[in-house]
């Protein structure tokens, strides 16, 4: 009986470790992509400011709502809820 409980806990820990590694890879890939995107965006902003001057106030006045919405979901891995 004791070994059954231990095996279940081991399987649960293994599933959580696997999911954690997957999440880490995804986070690292996203961070690298965001770094490149931020670099490109900064360069584009510099070019636009050089060509058009300071247009910050015009942009702020024209924007009314956010373009991107985030969704949060909860996954259940071996009985543990993960965001």
Predicted confidence (pLDDT) per residue in 25-41, tens digit: 999 999 999 999 999 99
Domain spans of the chain, in order of start: 21-62
pLDDT band at 79 (very low <50, low <70, confident <90, very high): confident
- Cβ atoms of 78 and 16 within 8 Å: the answer is yes
DSSP-based three-state secondary structure for 76? strand
Task: Say what the pTM is.
Answer: 0.60
Q: Provide the pLDDT for residue 66.
A: 78
In the chain, which residue ranges form alpha helices assigned H by DSSP? 2-52, 56-62
Is the torsion defined by CA of 54, 60, 61, 66 positive or negative?
Answer: positive
Residue 77: name the closest of 15, 14, 32 by CA.
Answer: 15
């Amino acid at each position: 009986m004791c070994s059954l409980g231990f095996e279940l806990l081991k399987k649960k820990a293994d599933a959580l470790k696997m999911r954690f590694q997957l999440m880490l890879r995804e986070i690292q890939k996203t961070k690298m992509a965001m770094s490149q995107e931020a670099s490109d965006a900064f360069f584009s902003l510099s070019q636009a400011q050089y060509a058009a001057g300071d247009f910050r106030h015009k942009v702020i006045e024209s924007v009314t709502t956010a373009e991107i919405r985030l969704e949060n979901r909860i996954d259940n891995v071996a009985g543990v809820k993960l965001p």
